[in-house]
Structure 1
Amino acid sequence: MEPPVPPFLLLLALLAASGLTRAQVETPLLDLSGVLPSLSRPANHSLIFHAVMFDAGSTGTRIHVYTFIQKQLPVLDNEMFHSIKPGLSAYADSPEMVTVTLLLKVARRAVPRLDWKRTPLVLRATAGLRLLPAEKAQTLLDQVQHVFDESPFLVPDGSVSIMDGTNEGILAWISLNFLTGHLNANAKKTVGILDLGGGSTQITFLPKLKKTVEKAPVADYVARFDFFNSTFELYSHSYLGNGIMAARLATLGAVGAEGTVLNADLRVFCHRCGHAGYKLCYQEVLKVVKGIIHQPYELKDSNVFFAFSYYFDRAVDAGLIDGVQGGMLQVRDFKKRAKEVCNKTTRYLPVSPFLCMDLTYIACLLKDGFGFKDGAMLQLTKKVNNVEASWALGAMLDHFHNLKLH
């Protein structure tokens, strides 16, 4: 059975049908006409709307405060972003200690007091909570719900939940393609996305060859939806347990009954990994990838992939890209720097005892996992048009549409 068409895709189809780019209309980023709540105000009066999305990841919780301005049409004006560590899953045994309250203070500062009551709060948890026992995960969600309910913001039903891994990839693909202008009627190409979190990793792209879909292992690797009177198929999959932190644990075999990180053992292992050199380290991390990560039939060079989250962070740590501007890298660049760090042939001083292992894992994941060629180009980015590269914007659009706030 084909998965249902996500409402946000229908919404974006309507938006993209106009074919307008940012160069064609002097409005920032995103047209949300009919999605945000409308109020009875005089013509030509600027209306400002806000929305708050919490990304509850495995290693931290991030807040995105979006500001929309309605002149003739609502547009996304800017985003305020802040993050804290650790993630919600770290409070599995003490849910009353969750730190969402701290981020709510950020929302209070970013959103004017008069707008609090009509500003929705949404939290979507990812791999950190998906890896927890269901009962503990639900207790954490209930605690967040309680904190939200006590806040002065709008808290509709369904505002706190765990997000499916595949949706995480699809929403990130929607966000990145929208922000890069690839979801309008004139766009002939799209960009793929590679997201590397702490607990899971996602790959999503629009295939050019039918065999890519036909050779997908199972049906849930493919998301189908109607767009411009045609059926489009995204190749998308989320690998739970193959995020960078989970991969460290899996390589070591140091996972407790509830995913407890054994930091001391990890440091010893990574120290040995560095002394053993790149080759032996690669053999160890390959065990976490081989037979688990499916290689899509096509990963053509014409498909530009945006890589973010820990791909970006580790590239910065390794001195491969600028921490603000990001940059283009080839897959072989991760491999080369991993060799230099692990074999201690670089003058660059590692900022983390895990850098050798993490870079080796990324190189292995990209090449022996997904099957990218050494020369494949990746766009490493943290922000696109001053908006965080993540699934959060797509998720916010989806939530607005489901709320039917017209």
Structure 2
Amino acid sequence: MSSASPDTNESRSKVWSYLDLTSPRRRTSVSLPKSRKSLDPYEKADRHNPVPRSNPVNAKASSMSGQAGFMGVPSRFLKTGGLIAFVILVVFYLAPSHYGPGAASLSSGSSSSIPSDSSLKTEKCTKSHSPSKPLVQYALMVDAGSTGSRIHVYRFNNCGSTPELEKEWFEMTPKKKGGSGLSSYPDEPEEAAKSLDVLLDVAVENVPKSIQGCTPIAVKATAGLRKLGPEKSEAILKAVRTRLETAYPFPVLDADKGGVEVMDGKDEGVYAWITTNYLLGKIGGPDKTPTAAVFDLGGGSTQIVFEPTFPEAKAGGMPEQLAEGDHKYKLSFGGRDFTLYQHSYLGYGLMAARENLHRVVVDALHEKHGENTGWTKKPVMNPCIVPGMSTNVKVPLTKDHPLGDSITLNMTGPSTASGTQCRALAEKTLRKEKECKLSPCAFDGVHQPSLGKVFSREEIFLFSYFYDRTKPLGMPENFQISELKELANRVCTGGEGGSWEVFQGIEGAMEELQGRPETCLDLNFMLALLHTGYEMPIDREVRIAKKIKGNELGWCLGASLPLLSQESGWKCKISKVQ
């Protein structure tokens, strides 16, 4: 494979107007590069300063003329031969030999546009809104999460000023014990890279071959890879980039544009906010409608993003606004400016929360028994395990812990319901008592405006594990926090005494409960996180969702929208005819 890019010698006439993404990376605002030339340092210095094509040919013809005259060749033969040579050179120069079979239909329209395939149609319109944009475009995003990797293959049309998502293909790496994410291969970077093959095959199958070389891809890892440390995570990311560039036809975003990276937690949350509000039609259109908040619960981290609405200032007073800090995120989208509150809590995802809570139990028992470790050989009663059930748990411990780096215990549920005690343990892991340097704070000492005051009526969306743990148990799409509390109490009662009879009429619910002894823990942590941590009122209505209009929620779509412009840092990758 060889890389090539459309001419970039002309400044682009229009910048991606609906999503402003120009700030430096690790930013507090999302922006797009303004019009500028993007020169390849490995190209010749005059690559973007075209010379008229006839000059070198004419010079060569002139040289040939001199030689011919010296040898006594008649001038008419010289002129004829020079003309033929010129035509041959021009035809050879212009011939699209660098395209593979069937790619002759690709056209770029202008030097600043992305090549398109005229055979690709959409039912929404017959012509692109902008001559510099193809009618149909694809973008690929790999979500390298802590428990597994997922690919999203997006198809857009450019019928309007804002790209419209038409279809999405979604695939996950097969589940396996210990996880199937990149972080599951801490010492095997090449194997980590190969684990994505099953995902890339889906992209190869669904993206038309004629435009695969101009369909960008990015891989963004989240909390799981962050925990491996810089050395191991960098080795894995390097192996992933190498495999994508050598084994697949899709162009990878440049390294300085985040093509293959560990994503900043703040970007993860904001991209999820963009995804949700874009699909809801709350941003990107002409209407200035209130936006929805997003609460994402992953395996290693959890994110909160919302647009606070402060009350109007009293006569003569200063208007209240969001305090300065890392939590403040300015965003421009579709001609509107937004000031968002965001925070990503690393170590408070659901799998991390399980570890935190089990560690609280272990530390309490260790403090009680001291140097006597006999208790570690027996079943350990844990109020967050469903009554009558047990599971073996490997608990990571703090550095220099007397019991070692980790310990594996048999965690057993109590004989009677103990949901209240489980919730108390979950609340303890939130560290509400930590010093709050900028008031008010949510938990772990992190500043957050009161949801009850600045976001009391707008929609709140919960997704990822919030959805995965509640929907199978029959929870409706919209419910109050108090109903989540009722569900947690019922689950923590256990199956004895008929308390689980209500779940028997829900398809798959009993299998979910019987196969997951830590469901009591999961639900109580979610309740503690929302009500005690984020301080949502108990009667606050929330909405769980996995899809909107058939499209997956999460950060991936929001992060993929900028990829539709080559200014986001990629070049078409065209295969030469052999």
> Structure 1 length as normaliser, TM-score?
0.82
1:96 CA drift (Å): 2.4
User: How far apart in 2 are the matches of 1:355 and 1:256?
Assistant: 22
User: How far apart in 2 are the matches of 1:390 and 1:128?
Assistant: 16
- Unpaired runs of 5+ in structure 2? 1-25, 35-111, 120-124, 129-134, 313-318, 360-394, 400-404, 433-442, 504-509, 572-578
Matched, 1:333 2:483: yes
SS of 2:238 mapped into structure 1: helix
Matched, 1:49 2:126: no
Once the two structures are superposed, what CA deviation does each residue of 1:16-50 show, in whole Å capped at 9, x if it has no partner?
A: xxxxxxxxxxxxxxxxxxx9825485994684321
Partner AA of 2:243 in structure 1: V
Partner AA of 2:153 in structure 1: V
Pick closer, same or farther for the CA change 1:210–1:89 going to 2, 3 Å. Answer: farther
Whether contact under 8 Å (1:330, 1:377) holds in the other structure is yes
Is the deviation greater in 374-383 or in 234-243? Answer: 374-383
User: How far apart in 1 are the matches of 2:244 and 2:330?
Assistant: 34
Partner of 1:244 in structure 2? 350
1:383 aligns with one of 533, 536, 547: 547
Whether contact under 8 Å (2:146, 2:222) holds in the other structure is yes
1:139 CA drift (Å): 1.1
1:400 CA drift (Å): 3.5
1:399 CA drift (Å): 3.4
1:365 CA drift (Å): 0.4
Matched, 1:135 2:135: no
Pick closer, same or farther for the CA change 1:186–1:87 going to 2, 3 Å. Answer: same
Once the two structures are superposed, what CA deviation does each residue of 1:108-132 show, in whole Å capped at 9, x if it has no partner?
A: 1111222221111111111111122
Partner of 1:301 in structure 2? 456
1:316 CA drift (Å): 1.9
Matched, 1:118 2:259: no
1:247 CA drift (Å): 0.4
1:228 CA drift (Å): 8.1
User: How far apart in 2 are the matches of 1:228 and 1:115?
Assistant: 27
Pick closer, same or farther for the CA change 1:178–1:104 going to 2, 3 Å. Answer: same
Pick closer, same or farther for the CA change 1:404–1:132 going to 2, 3 Å. Answer: closer
Partner of 1:31 in structure 2? none
Whether contact under 8 Å (1:123, 1:160) holds in the other structure is yes
Partner of 1:154 in structure 2? 251
1:149 CA drift (Å): 1.0
Matched, 1:346 2:496: no
Partner AA of 2:427 in structure 1: L
Partner of 1:5 in structure 2? 29
1:69 CA drift (Å): 3.0
User: How far apart in 2 are the matches of 1:50 and 1:226?
Assistant: 23
1:87 aligns with one of 177, 181, 192: 181
Once the two structures are superposed, what CA deviation does each residue of 1:176-232 show, in whole Å capped at 9, x if it has no partner?
A: 11110111331331100010000000010000127998676x701111245688753
Partner of 2:273 in structure 1? 173
Whether contact under 8 Å (1:66, 1:80) holds in the other structure is yes
2:298 aligns with one of 190, 193, 197: 197
Pick closer, same or farther for the CA change 1:143–1:229 going to 2, 3 Å. Answer: closer
User: How far apart in 2 are the matches of 1:96 and 1:128?
Assistant: 17
> Structure 2 length as normaliser, TM-score?
0.59
Once the two structures are superposed, what CA deviation does each residue of 1:126-149 show, in whole Å capped at 9, x if it has no partner?
A: 111112211111111112112111
Once the two structures are superposed, what CA deviation does each residue of 1:304-323 show, in whole Å capped at 9, x if it has no partner?
A: 111110000001233214xx
Pick closer, same or farther for the CA change 1:121–1:231 going to 2, 3 Å. Answer: closer
SS of 1:245 mapped into structure 2: helix
Pick closer, same or farther for the CA change 1:174–1:273 going to 2, 3 Å. Answer: farther
Pick closer, same or farther for the CA change 1:213–1:262 going to 2, 3 Å. Answer: farther
User: How far apart in 2 are the matches of 1:76 and 1:372?
Assistant: 33
Pick closer, same or farther for the CA change 1:374–1:149 going to 2, 3 Å. Answer: same
SS of 1:174 mapped into structure 2: helix
User: How far apart in 2 are the matches of 1:213 and 1:138?
Assistant: 43
User: How far apart in 1 are the matches of 2:406 and 2:485?
Assistant: 27
Partner of 1:286 in structure 2? 427
User: How far apart in 2 are the matches of 1:176 and 1:9?
Assistant: 24
Partner of 2:474 in structure 1? 319
Matched, 1:102 2:179: no
Once the two structures are superposed, what CA deviation does each residue of 1:336-385 show, in whole Å capped at 9, x if it has no partner?
A: 11111112233233141111100010000000000011111111111111
Once the two structures are superposed, what CA deviation does each residue of 1:40-69 show, in whole Å capped at 9, x if it has no partner?
A: 859946843211100111111111000123
SS of 2:29 mapped into structure 1: coil
Pick closer, same or farther for the CA change 1:5–1:296 going to 2, 3 Å. Answer: closer
The within-5 A match list for 1:9-48 is 37-39=114-116, 44=126, 47-48=135-136
Partner of 2:263 in structure 1? 163
SS of 1:219 mapped into structure 2: coil
Pick closer, same or farther for the CA change 1:205–1:118 going to 2, 3 Å. Answer: same
Matched, 1:75 2:164: yes
Partner of 1:21 in structure 2? none
Identity of aligned pairs, percent? 33
Pick closer, same or farther for the CA change 1:317–1:366 going to 2, 3 Å. Answer: same
Pick closer, same or farther for the CA change 1:255–1:109 going to 2, 3 Å. Answer: same
The alignment yields a C-alpha RMSD, in angstroms, of 3.3
User: How far apart in 1 are the matches of 2:164 and 2:322?
Assistant: 40
User: How far apart in 2 are the matches of 1:124 and 1:404?
Assistant: 15
Is the deviation greater in 202-211 or in 227-236? Answer: 227-236
Pick closer, same or farther for the CA change 1:185–1:405 going to 2, 3 Å. Answer: farther
Whether contact under 8 Å (2:139, 2:563) holds in the other structure is no
